[in-house]
Structure 1
């Protein structure tokens, strides 16, 4: 009986180790500190009033973020209409969202950025546009499609989940295999 239990424990340990190796294979290797992106500031700043034409909203981070997985939603607070003009762009540590001409009013910016290590960070801020009457743009047709900002994790989250599933399946398969074997071959 002791020999059988020892073999089962050894097999489970080997399978769990294999699952852990698969899990760790998906982790970023070049991240020496595992620090995540952090928002340092925005332009316009939270709670400020803009009195000139604003071509873009800019978010500055402590490190580079991924443009292909990051989103910035600029919407008029009164009617939740989006004013983004094309995809967000990343230059150095800045995530820049071009906007259609903003009329005077209150605006909300909801953002979600993905660090190069796959960790998502998100937040929101608000600002007001108060243009002089002679600088007020003509009423434009804003972008009515809202881009979702909140949601699940980035690529690193999926690697962890996939690795955990593989590890659990490997352990379960090992236990089933040991139980199904005839008594004389254990």
Structure 2
């Protein structure tokens, strides 16, 4: 019985420390939204995450089609929301919002997305260069840069399988011991 409890405790000790690493800040909302086409140029970019952000380690930048940064004030952080206030009006064309944040759990999350300004009151865009986020398609998804979800699911399934095997072995050993005691005269 003591061996079974020790085996179960060992399994839990191995699996439990990994659990907090699964909860990282993920972007859940943005203004302007990903792939939006706006008829009025925004004056600020707001990103909302699932966890409180560390203000000292939050970067949000806006770039135009030529990959030039748009002048802005440093990001203002309010709990799980970061706001980048632009100091220069935007013209028509595509823009890339890029972010790199560290939540209070210490995990870094980065990503980027595109939006387009198509304000009829503004002059037409002079360049229509498509800006692809660095790192390929995965980098454009909110919260990319961490452990892939499939890997986390696989690790969780492996942990459950190990726990089931350990439980099976413990119960089998207990049954054998009970059967041996019952067969003794």
Give the structure-1-normalised TM-score.
0.52
Matches within 5 A, 1:19-98: 33=20, 35-77=23-65, 79-98=66-85
Q: CA RMSD in A?
A: 2.2
Higher RCO (CA 8 Å, separation ≥ 6 residues): 1
Structure 2 CA distance for aligned equivalents of residues 83 and 64 of structure 1? 26
Report the 3-state secondary structure (helix = DSSP H, G, I; strand = E; otherwise coil) of the residue aligned with 1:124: strand
Tell me how many residue pairs correspond in the alignment.
Answer: 105
Deviations 1:3-53 (A, max 9, x none): xxxxxxxxxxxxxxxxxxxxxxxxxxxxx9552211101111111111113
Structure 1 CA distance for aligned equivalents of residues 105 and 82 of structure 2? 16
Structure 2 CA distance for aligned equivalents of residues 33 and 73 of structure 1? 29
By percentage of residues, which structure has more strand?
Answer: 1
User: What is the deviation of 1:84?
Assistant: 3.7
Give the structure-2-normalised TM-score.
0.52
Paired residues of 1:84 and 1:97 also in contact (CA < 8 A): no
Structure 2 CA distance for aligned equivalents of residues 51 and 43 of structure 1? 14
Structure 1 stretches of 4+ moved >4 Å: none
Structure 2 CA distance for aligned equivalents of residues 94 and 55 of structure 1? 16
Distance 1:88 1:56, change over 3 A: same
What are the ranges of 5 or more consecutive residues in structure 2 without an aligned counterpart? 1-18, 124-138, 140-144, 146-185
Structure 2 CA distance for aligned equivalents of residues 103 and 86 of structure 1? 18
What are the ranges of 5 or more consecutive residues in structure 1 without an aligned counterpart? 1-31, 138-149, 154-186
